[in-house]
Amino acid sequence: MAFAPVLHAEWIKIRTLRSMLWALGAIVFATAAFSALAALDGGGDFDPLFAAFFGVSFGQVAAVAFGATAVSSEFQAGALRVSLSAVPQRGRWFAAKAVAVGVPALAVGLVTGVVSLAVGTAVLGEKANGLTWTEGLRGTVGCGVYLALMALLAAGLTALLRSGVATLGILIPFLLLVSFVVGDKSGTVADFLPDKAGQVVLHETPEGTLGPWSGLAVTACWTVAALLAGAWSIRRRDA
């Protein structure tokens, strides 16, 4: 079967599952809401760009849930066996699944970036006057790319572990606890954690080892590794 119809079938699965649509909507809502709260709490010495995008730290949880749910649904009630019966080329099927996850995550991530920047700067008021349009554009695009990468990271890990619960049990505590604990330790190996590296693009003046785009590149490497591991699992293990 050609790639286009496989992709179309995978997209139908995603858009017809209400839980996935709710997860996509939660990305926008959680990010904008927590960005507004962070902007209200801005003190005298703070990063206005990161304050506007602070909610990404919470919106990424919804992105992870979206990626994990999209793949974990295949491991329920023999759905993967049916999918692979229709598409025997397992690599092609998983590539279509990854695209079906990544494209809507990127689109929603870009919308999230626009909304978060608008809400954050509006709440910040005069405190946001120092931001340039290039910094805002970089933050908006970076937000979209970062959220898409986190959704794909979760998709790849779910394919490897064959469990959305296991993926969420690993990633969510890591994102909400471990990353915050090591978050202030710049210039160490912590700079290369997938979330900390990717969020460098959301800072007006990045600190530490990585720059805005090299940080996203590090996150992309984590994501590619997870997807390759997931593809290996799909191809080598029984459905």
| Alpha carbons 101 and 105: distance in angstroms, whole number | 6
Report the pLDDT averaged over residues 146-156: 98
pLDDT over 90 (residue 85): no
pLDDT for the residue 83:
87
pLDDT for the residue 197:
92
pLDDT for the residue 207:
78
pLDDT over 90 (residue 183): no
**Could you tell me what percent of the chain has a pLDDT over 70?**
93
Find the range with the poorest average confidence among 71-80, 97-106, 174-183, 229-238.
174-183
Element (H, E) at 237: none
DSSP string, 104-120: HHHHHHHHHHHHHHHHH
CA dihedral 55, 58, 64, 70 (to 10 degrees): -80
pLDDT over 80 (residue 163): yes
Element (H, E) at 96: helix 90-124
pLDDT tens string 20-71: 999 999 999 999 999 888 877 765 567 889 989 999 999 999 999 999 999 9
**Considering the chain, what is the average pLDDT of its residues?**
89
| Alpha carbons 153 and 171: distance in angstroms, whole number | 10
- Phi-psi sector, 78: left (phi>0), alpha (psi -120 to 50), beta: left
Report the pLDDT averaged over residues 188-206: 88
pLDDT over 60 (residue 239): no
Nearest alpha-carbon partner for 164 in 68, 41, 100: 68
Whether residue 63 contacts residue 109, with contact meaning beta carbons closer than 8 Å, is answered with: yes
| Alpha carbons 11 and 160: distance in angstroms, whole number | 21
Q: Using the 8-state DSSP alphabet, how is residue 176 labeled?
A: I
Rounded to the nearest 5°, which phi and psi values hold at 46? -150, 170
Angle at 17 (CA atoms; ends 11, 23), nearest 5 degrees: 95
pLDDT for the residue 45:
60
| pTM of the entire predicted model | 0.93
**Burial degree of 164 (CB within 10 A; 0-12, 13-18, 19+):** buried
**Structure confidence at residue 186 as a pLDDT band (50, 70, 90):** low
Could you tell me the residue ranges of all domains in the chain? 3-236
pLDDT for the residue 185:
59
